[in-house]
């Protein structure tokens, strides 16, 4: 079976919001073994929506629309789809009751135009909205399936996962299942060279590199009747790829570098503290984006000036005068200082030149020094990174996390 996603909303065409719904739906449909051949975006215009529906019904088995289910006059999706299918709208009383209860729970008056959100063709299967007022619907006609979904991702995603996915799964006998390998420290061209023969002979499963900021992803995808069968197909290919890429494979699927570092800290019963200069707290920001990080992450200091490096971390003025703030020696003392003052098991530090100013011939933009201080002593590392200021800060943060990952693994 093949599907087409019609995203309805003038705000999408104006670039006011990003169309994340199409991405989410394509990912979920692939798991169900349903191929998505077309993405269409159309504004809030009855004539153009009708034309998009005509084209989609000529070439697709499943037509999924998103957006345009609100209470206002420019929300035309449901009305236009009903017109296209030659049906009539009537009030779906259970939906109306839910909408009324929703407004009552907020102690707000429901305006009359909200009633239109409860109107559907009698032939429709109504999809309950557990996170908003606009229900969705599934309508089948002439061997075509029309799925009508709300636009807000917080409403669309659970509606699809809880109701639509089960409905569509009954219509296909197999699914497409994937495992994503997340890789850091080697570039995409090197990855391709290391697994070139696997790419050339792939059938089922297939291997696809995915573009991603700061890292490389490999998606191994198998088509099978069940997840267990797919995993059996994926496993030997995954093992072979990992044997070739080694420690560069840091995680899978939704893993991030920061979640892996926190996991390793917990497994080893260790606590971390950070001292950051050129990254301005970006490493700490990534770590604290993970819920529960406080059980292993004690504190972070953004010691941006030389004065703060001395006062807060105990960096020697002589070190700064002799070697400069961007040096192995300063990074070492920063890491040892934050470890001592925080009482952490590991102290990590990063200092560098993010640019565009502050560079010299000896110390160019992109020069970064990192240090990790632990019970086994202090290690330092020198990096030479490219890009503008923001890219250098971001790359530095990922490099720091990756080094912590490797340190903790070994």
Quick check: 203 pLDDT over 90? no
Q: Residue 303, exposed/middle/buried by CB under 10 A (0-12, 13-18, 19+)? A: buried
Check: CB of residue 350 under 8 Å from CB of residue 286: no
Check: CB of residue 364 under 8 Å from CB of residue 333: no
27 pLDDT band, cuts 50/70/90, is: confident
pLDDT value, residue 62: 97
Of the listed ranges 11-25, 111-125, 205-219, 290-304, the least confidently predicted one is 205-219
Residue 363's CB is within 10 A of a number of other CB atoms, namely 16
pLDDT value, residue 240: 97
pLDDT value, residue 178: 87
- Mean pLDDT to the nearest integer, 166-181: 84
Quick check: 7 pLDDT over 80? yes
Mean pLDDT (the chain, rounded): 95
86 pLDDT band, cuts 50/70/90, is: very high
- Mean pLDDT to the nearest integer, 366-379: 98
Quick check: 224 pLDDT over 90? no
225 pLDDT band, cuts 50/70/90, is: confident
pLDDT value, residue 139: 98
pLDDT value, residue 31: 80
Residue 72's CB is within 10 A of a number of other CB atoms, namely 11
Can you say whether the dihedral through the CA atoms of 389, 288, 255, 384 is positive or negative?
Answer: positive
CA distance 215 to 211: 8
CA distance 341 to 269: 19
Cα dist from 195 to 189, 202, 215, whole Å: 10, 11, 17
The predicted-structure confidence for 296-346, as pLDDT tens digits, reads as follows 999 999 999 999 999 999 999 999 999 999 999 999 999 999 999 999 999
CA distance 360 to 382: 16
Cα dist from 326 to 29, 377, 382, 399, whole Å: 50, 20, 10, 16
172 pLDDT band, cuts 50/70/90, is: confident
The proportion of the chain whose per-residue pLDDT surpasses 70, expressed as a percent, equals 100
Check: CB of residue 259 under 8 Å from CB of residue 251: yes
- Domains belonging to the chain, first-starting first, are 2-169 (3.40.980.10), 175-252 (3.30.70.2860), 257-409 (3.90.950.20)
Q: Which two tokens stand for residue 284?
A: 């700490």
Check: CB of residue 326 under 8 Å from CB of residue 363: yes
pLDDT value, residue 116: 94
pLDDT value, residue 232: 97
pLDDT value, residue 210: 79
* DSSP H or E run through 394: helix 389-409
The DSSP symbol for 160 reads I
380 pLDDT band, cuts 50/70/90, is: very high
Check: CB of residue 224 under 8 Å from CB of residue 173: no
CA distance 165 to 33: 11
Quick check: 208 pLDDT over 90? no
Beta bridge partners of residue 46, listed in sequence order: none
The predicted-structure confidence for 240-298, as pLDDT tens digits, reads as follows 999 999 999 999 999 999 999 999 999 999 999 999 999 999 999 999 999 999 999 99
Quick check: 4 pLDDT over 90? yes
- Mean pLDDT to the nearest integer, 100-119: 92
CA distance 314 to 201: 58
227 pLDDT band, cuts 50/70/90, is: confident
- Mean pLDDT to the nearest integer, 400-407: 98
Angle formed at CA 255 by CA 294 and CA 331, multiple of 5 degrees: 55
Quick check: 352 pLDDT over 90? yes
Task: Give 141's contacts (C-beta < 8 A, 6+ positions apart).
Answer: 85, 123
Quick check: 211 pLDDT over 80? no
pLDDT value, residue 164: 95
């Amino acid at each position: 079976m093949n599907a087409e996603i019609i995203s309805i909303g003038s705000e999408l065409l104006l670039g006011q919001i990003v169309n994340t719904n199409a991405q989410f739906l394509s990912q979920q449909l692939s798991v169900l073994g349903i191929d998505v051949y077309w993405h269409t975006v159309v504004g809030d215009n009855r004539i153009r929506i009708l034309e998009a529906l005509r084209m989609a019904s000529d070439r697709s088995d499943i037509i999924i629309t998103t957006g345009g289910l609100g209470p206002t006059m420019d929300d035309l999706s449901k009305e236009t789809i009903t017109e296209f299918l030659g049906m009539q709208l009537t009030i779906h009383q259970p939906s109306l009751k839910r909408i009324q209860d929703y407004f009552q729970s907020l102690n707000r008056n429901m305006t009359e135009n909200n009633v239109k959100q409860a109107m559907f063709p009698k032939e429709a299967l109504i999809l309950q909205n557990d996170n908003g007022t606009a229900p969705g619907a599934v309508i089948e006609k002439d061997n075509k399936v029309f799925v009508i979904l709300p636009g807000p991702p917080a409403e669309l995603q659970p509606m699809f996962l809880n109701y639509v996915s089960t409905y569509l799964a009954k219509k296909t006998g197999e699914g497409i299942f994937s495992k994503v390998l997340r890789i850091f420290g080697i570039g995409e061209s090197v990855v391709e060279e290391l697994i070139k023969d696997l790419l050339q002979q792939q059938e089922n499963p297939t291997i696809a590199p995915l573009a991603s900021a700061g890292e490389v992803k490999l998606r191994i995808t198998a088509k099978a009747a069940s997840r267990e069968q797919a995993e059996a197909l994926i496993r030997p290919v995954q093992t072979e790829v990992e044997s070739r890429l080694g420690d560069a494979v840091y995680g899978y699927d939704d893993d991030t570098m920061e979640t892996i570092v926190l996991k390793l800290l917990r497994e080893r019963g260790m606590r971390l503290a950070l001292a950051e200069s050129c990254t301005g707290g970006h490493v700490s920001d990534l770590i604290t984006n993970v819920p529960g990080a406080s059980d292993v992450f004690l504190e972070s200091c953004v010691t941006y000036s030389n004065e703060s490096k001395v006062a807060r971390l105990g960096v020697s003025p002589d070190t700064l005068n002799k070697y400069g703030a961007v040096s192995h020696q300063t990074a070492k003392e920063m890491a040892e200082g934050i470890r001592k003052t925080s009482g952490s098991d590991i102290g990590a530090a990063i200092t560098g030149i993010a640019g565009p100013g502050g560079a010299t011939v000896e110390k160019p933009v992109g020069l970064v020094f990192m240090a990790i201080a632990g019970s086994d002593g202090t290690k330092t590392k020198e990096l030479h990174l490219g890009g503008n200021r923001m890219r250098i800060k971001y790359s530095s943060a990922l490099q720091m996390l990756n080094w912590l990952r490797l340190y903790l693994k070994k």
